[in-house]
Every structure is written in structure tokens, then in C-alpha cells.
Amino acid sequence: MITDERVRDYIRSLESDQGELLERIAGEARKKNIPIIKKETGALLKTLVAARQPGAILEVGTAVGYSALLMAQVMPAGCRITTIEKYRPHIEAARANFKEAAMEERITLLEGDAQELLGELSGPYDFIFMDAAKGQYIRWLPRILELLSPGAVLFSDNVLQDGTIVQSRYGVERRDRTIHSRMREYLYALKHTRGLETAVVPMGDGAAISVLKEGTL
């Protein structure tokens, strides 16, 4: 979402190698047009996990497991990740990647629709990463808030929709209008829900970082 590509490229150039496995996963994902977190946004995600030191992480949207493995690099020893995915080819790839990374015992992949699975989870989670169907964020938010522990971080990716979020509803393609409206509603909710402190960061495709203040909601 950074408009100056020189700045974006410079920030990316500062990033260190993520290790042979993650670099390979990222390369294969790009070749197959599988969306994974952008490099600079991934660095922010890792930094926040490292700072929060969560005991339990929930990820909504596994894809091929890249972001879960990024978080696993910096999560504390006792932390576990629960991640949700419904697309079968992604599930198979993610399971293979978790196995290769020797993270099968620390990352639990739940297969199925997020709306249903979220209702079955007990939580609480100290860190939740939202990176699934963007038009569903607002639908999932009430349950997500219930699953957050006091002081927890909610990281929502892709919230600026390639910059189209600033346009009028009628300025985007007809097929994208529902997602556009729902994402605007979601961002408003994050900024106006009592007990949440939220910053929207114009990095990558836009990230919203929310913290659940203790003694609220």
C-alpha cells in the first residue's frame, strides 16, 4: 500500500533471509499466485508476536502455512497456534509444510468454514491474525472479540484493499462493492468499539492493529 515503490523496495531489501523452508514456500506461492503476507507486513507481524509473547495464537486463514510459520519463529516456547483453512489444496500444502518444519505438535490446523469453527473454539487467545475472506471480517468480529484475552492483539491484514477503500462504493468494480462496503464497516467497528485501541497502518495492503484493553468489553 506504500505508494512510493522505492521506499517499499528499500524496506524489503532490509529483511533478512527467513530460512530455506520459508523462502521456498514464499517462492512457490508467488509462482502459483497463492496470496501470502507481504514481506514488510510479515516483519510487522513477527515483531508484534515477539513483543506480545502470546501463550496462544489463533490464525483465520492458513493458506499454505507461511504466516503461521513466520509467527512460530518468534513465539515463546509454550505457545501454540490454531489455524483455520477450508480450501483443500491449501490444507494439504500447509500440513506438509508444518511437518517439514517439525511444527506439527505446536500448530493445529482446523479444516472447515471459519464461521462454524470459531463458534466451537473456547479460547482465549492472546494474539489473533485475520487473513481470510475479507468480506467476512465484519461477520466474524463479534466472535473474535469474545475469543480475545485481556491485552490481546488482533492483527487484520489486507484492510485497505489495494487502496480502493478510499474510493466511493461506486468507484470500485461492481463485483467488489460488497467487500468494499463490509471492509469499511469493519474498520469503523475496530475504531469505534469500546475497549479496542486500533491503528490502521498503510503498509503492504494495509493492516489494522487492535489491542483489547483490560477491564473492557
pLDDT higher than threshold 90 for residue 2:
no
Look at residue 126 in the predicted model and tell me its pLDDT: 98
Between residues 119 and 217, the one the model is more confident about = 119
Question: Are residues 174 and 187 in contact, defined by beta-carbon separation less than 8 angstroms?
Answer: no
Report the alpha-carbon distance of residue 204 to residue 216 in Å, rounded.
30
Domain edges within the chain: 5-212
Q: Is the pLDDT of residue 177 over 70?
A: no
Position 167 scores a pLDDT of 53
Rounded Cα distance, 108 and 125, in Å: 14
Q: What is the DSSP string of the chain?
A: --S-HHHHHHHHHTPPP--HHHHHHHHHHHHTT-----HHHHHHHHHHHHHH--SEEEEE--TTSHHHHHHHHHS-TT-EEEEEE--HHHHHHHHHHHHHTT-TTTEEEEES-HHHHHHH----EEEEEE-S-GGGHHHHHHHHHHHEEEEEEEEEESTTGGGGGGS-GGGS-GGGHHHHHHHHHHHHHHHHSTTEEEEEE-STT-EEEEEE-TT--
Query: Averaged over 167-187, what is the pLDDT?
Result: 68
Q: What is the pLDDT of residue 165?
A: 54
Mean pLDDT of the chain: 89
**125-130 sheet: strands from edge to edge:** 107-111, 80-85, 56-60, 125-130, 148-157, 207-212, 196-201
Rounded to whole angstroms, the Cα distance separating 108 from 91 reads 11
pLDDT beyond 60 at 59: yes
Strands 207-212, 196-201: pairing is: antiparallel
Short-list 123, 152, 144, CA closest to 212: 152
Q: Which of 102-116, 161-175, 179-193, 196-210 has the lowest mean pLDDT?
A: 161-175
CATH code of 5-212, in short, is: 3.40.50.150
Residue 53 near residue 128, CB atoms below 8 Å: no
**Across 138-163, average pLDDT:** 91
Question: How large is the average pLDDT for residues 65-74?
Answer: 97
Predicted pLDDT at 188: 93
